[in-house]
Amino acid sequence: MREIPRAADDPWRLLLEELYELTPRGIQPGLERVEDALARLDHPERAFDVVHVAGTNGKGSVAAMIAHGVLARHVGLYTSPHLHSLTERFRVDGAPVAREVVLDTWASIRDRLAEVPLSFFEAVTVLGFEIFRRQGVELAVLETGLGGRLDA
């Protein structure tokens, strides 16, 4: 479900349209594009510890339980897909990140990523890493995407 606001000049609408336009590139196994994007952002993924949840079924539930179980730390949770809002993918200490945080973070990194042919999932994953760094999370719990070990 796509949450596109009606107003053509709404900043949230513009962000979502920009990200959804990346979708046609689809899944292209390999980490080169994401590694390039992360290097351009001075490696936000290195700012926190990571628990990476993989498997066939139940990844989202397991990731949520782990994130909830370690709330004594400042915890980020990244899951996909979202059901209603893109912000559902990024949680800090159990709460979805505010739209303004997503908008501000994307605005600050988009130009540095412009030459990297990222898919929607890759771009949103990189965005999540940068959000977590800016939010000062100590631990990020990440749900594996459809591509498994070669996915963003």
Higher pLDDT, 96 or 27: 96
pLDDT higher than 60, residue 134: yes
Dihedral over alpha carbons 65, 3, 43, 67 (to 10 degrees)? -10
pLDDT score at 108 = 97
pLDDT tens per residue, range 51-72: 888 887 888 888 888 888 876 6
Judge whether 94 and 107 are in contact, CB under 8 Å.
no
Query: pLDDT tier at 5 (50, 70, 90 boundaries)?
Result: low
Query: pLDDT tier at 23 (50, 70, 90 boundaries)?
Result: low
Rounded to an integer, the average pLDDT of 141-148 is: 71
Contacts of 72 (CB under 8 A, 6+ apart): none
